[in-house]
A and B are shown apart, each in its own frame.
Chain A
Amino acid sequence: MLQGTALPATATASTYTSTSSATPTSPRPSRLRGLSYLRSYTSHHLHSSNVTPPTSRSEAPPLTRSTSYPNSPTRGESGSGSGIQNGESGWVPSVQGRSGLSRDSAQLTATTTVPAAPEPSSSMTRSRAATALGPTPTNRRQSTTETTAVDPATSTDMATSASSSTAKDSLPTIRFIPHVETRSTRPSLLFTTMSRTLRTTTSIVRVGRYSERDNNNNSTTQSTSDFLPVGFKSKVVSRRHCEFWHSNSQWYIRDVKSSSGTFLNHVRLSPPGQESRPFEVNDGDTVQLGIDFKGGEEVIFRCVKIRIECNRGWQKSLNAYNTTAHKRLLKNAGVVPRKTRDSDAASVNSSSECSICLNPVAPCQALFVAPCSHVWHYKCVRNLVHGSNYPNFLCPNCRFVADLEADVEPVEEDEMEFEEEEEEADGEVGASREEEMEGQRQGSSDTDELALSSRPEGRVGGSEDDDLAILLAGASLDPSSQHNSSSDLSAAPTTPGKLTATATRPVAISPPPGQRSSASDLLGAGAFSTTPTSTMQFALLAEGGMIADGPMTPRNDAGPFVLDGSAGRSVGRGILEQVVGDEREREG
């Protein structure tokens, strides 16, 4: 079947099906109502099925059929192989065709079928379940490679917990980092990383086009204004484009009648000139302001792509980890007790300060340790390091010439090795190391155990969502444990329950998981669970990977739906093939 042509038809089919099958009694209900009905229905059943697994299997098939099989006879007749394809291609455009609102719930319904339909007979549901599961490992892998091993979900969790625990970090901070999409053909607007710390809890970060007046206002009314302007020098950014604010340890974004749109994780928040409702923003989310205009060839017509980093103050401030790490680093480098062997010892200051800027070398700084154990701020010696004679580094302190490209060989007495360089973003490096360390601490226990052990945790939480998440975790961690090295594991399994819970939990405004227990609560929350979180994005990526690039597949990086066709494709394919392979094994 040519998938490109199949897209529109199946798209409408699936949207239609899911709603109609959800509420068989009412002929044409609102989507939201139908879905919430379905949600409560399935979750209710799932809840009981979780308590008594054997009976759930007998219950399951009618439920699955009703949710996922369409009414059209053609799809019912299609074989297992094409059924999968159908399922995929039907699934993706339904994502496109709907608003973010219904889409999120749609994904949930797809995943709810996972535990209910373990039989291989319903091949399509299984494939759907697999694709729905797919994103989780993809997400992790992408985040490890792209964003220097800081898993957004976990870090947000840690960030919020840290910020709530320490009074010092009480005022929330948000950072805007230029987001580079690996796939995009041209760069978006370049800007320097900006950080804003709210002055009061009710402060609002106003994002818009850069203007001098904003800056002047900023300087004059620094202490009084509750608005923190953030300006971008791009014409596609409206003067008042969007706003960020913070409430109940959660950041929110709202489009304030921008003309060219605000995209949170590639989903447009509101039509042109309309104000959007608040959307939850989490650490690691991407926000795009506007669309490239006139091809974006001129810099001022480029859209702005931002990666959001929020509440990471704990990472940049002094904490036990980075202080000890710093000490150990200097100790291992032999810096602290170093004897100065310089000729003019009087002029060479003590080694705990950077001899270039004469400031002390402290934790939370990007440092450069030369093989001769001299330490400077990376920024101070950057020009010496990346000079014309690059691989050779002439130590400004002792004139020892070091070959920076020399092979790094393990040192016997040191269990840890230190690269000469910590990059500019040493906070992130630190975080990744931290995760590494945590991975080592928990290292011996394997992932399967962790996934299993996390299940009771989820139960304590008491909500079906968490249970689902745990099930997802169990299923999604498996492939990673099978064909992934320790690096992947170290990043992931620190808190698998927590990770997946946040990753899959779509609830925008909700109490902590321990507090909500009843299905009605969940339902109420589910009705608002519309935030296109970062996981959603990756889910789309993985789904997008399944379909070939048909003429209907939107692949622009500027359009309202920036569906990524390439990222995560190989991973997605791999999972699909695995699933298909499993299928054949069972059948054959």
Chain B
Amino acid sequence: MAGSNKRIAKGQELADITTNPPEGTKVKLADESNIFIWEVLLDGPEESVYAGGHFKLKLVLPTNYPFKPPVLSFETRIYHPNVTNDDKGSMCLGILRSDEWKPPNQIRAVLKMVRDILVTPDIDNAVEGAIAELYKSNRKWYDKQAKEWVAKYAGKK
């Protein structure tokens, strides 16, 4: 997979995304020697209940990226129907699913999608059924809960 590694190694995506990051995100390598693990700092979108929160995400690129999708997980805990409500904080959604992933997709698109998801959770593909249920039945309670979590976990920079 020399070609794919070159895509990362030559830093096309990384350079592009660090110099010109999508709105509200910061990307860097978690470890300078390992180009496969990226650290993403995501600001909660203003129009969402996560506004003001700073979320740390870990993006792991498979060795045969871009033929396989990257794996994205919230290191900061977040109250969201599409993110597992544990310390893994993994999410599997949309283009991140291996049957949906296409090599032309780029990390930029992934981050954009994550922000969209924070604004509008994808209830139909929820991994946390309870949260999804709450989102549907009692939106206010859900909002309150999410904001509490933001304050609790994602407040500090």
Contact = CB atoms under 8 A, between A and B. Distances in A.
Contact of A380 (B3, B13, B106, B112): B3
Contact of B3 (A349, A356, A397): A356
Indicate the size class of the contact surface on chain A: 20 to 34
A397 B106 CA distance: 12
A396 B98 CA distance: 12
A396 B104 contact: yes
B1 interface: yes
Given A346-B109, A346-B112, A347-B109, A356 B13 contact: no
Contacts of A348: 102, 104-105
Contact of B67 (A377, A379, A396, A399): A396
B32 to A, nearest CB: 21
A212 interface: no
A347 B108 contact: yes
B103 interface: yes
A402 interface: no
A502 interface: no
A348 B104 CA distance: 5
A521 B125 CA distance: 88
A379 B103 CA distance: 14
A356 B4 contact: yes
B16 to A, nearest CB: 8
Nearest to B104: A355
A358 B95 contact: no
B109 A358 contact: no
B12 interface: yes
A346 B66 CA distance: 16
Contacts of B10: 357
Interface string B82-121: 0000000000000100000011111011001000000000
Interface string A385-396: 000000000001
B105 A347 contact: yes
B12 A358 contact: yes
A223 interface: no
B152 interface: no
Given A344-B109, A358-B7, A379 B2 contact: yes
Interface string A291-320: 000000000000000000000000000000
B154 to A, nearest CB: 26
Given A356-B66, A384-B67, A396-B67, A347 B4 contact: no
Contacts of A384: 67
A349 B106 contact: yes
B4 A357 contact: yes
A344 B95 contact: yes
Interface in A376-419: 377, 379-380, 382-384, 396-397, 399
B102 A396 contact: yes
Interface of A: 342, 344, 346-349, 355-359, 377, 379-380, 382-384, 396-397, 399
Given A346-B112, A357-B6, A377-B3, 15 more contacts: A342-B102, A342-B104, A344-B105, A344-B109, A347-B102, A347-B106, A349-B106, A356-B3, A379-B2, A379-B3, A380-B3, A383-B1, A383-B67, A396-B67, A396-B103
23 contacts: A342-B102, A344-B95, A344-B105, A347-B106, A347-B108, A347-B109, A348-B102, A348-B104, A355-B103, A356-B3, A356-B104, A357-B6, A358-B7, A358-B106, A382-B3, A383-B1, A383-B67, A384-B67, A396-B67, A396-B103, A396-B104, A397-B102, A397-B103
Interface of B: 1-4, 6-7, 10, 12-13, 66-67, 95, 102-106, 108-109, 112
When A and B form their complex, which 4 residue pairs have the shortest distance between CB atoms, in order from nearest? Answer: A347-B109, A355-B104, A380-B3, A396-B103
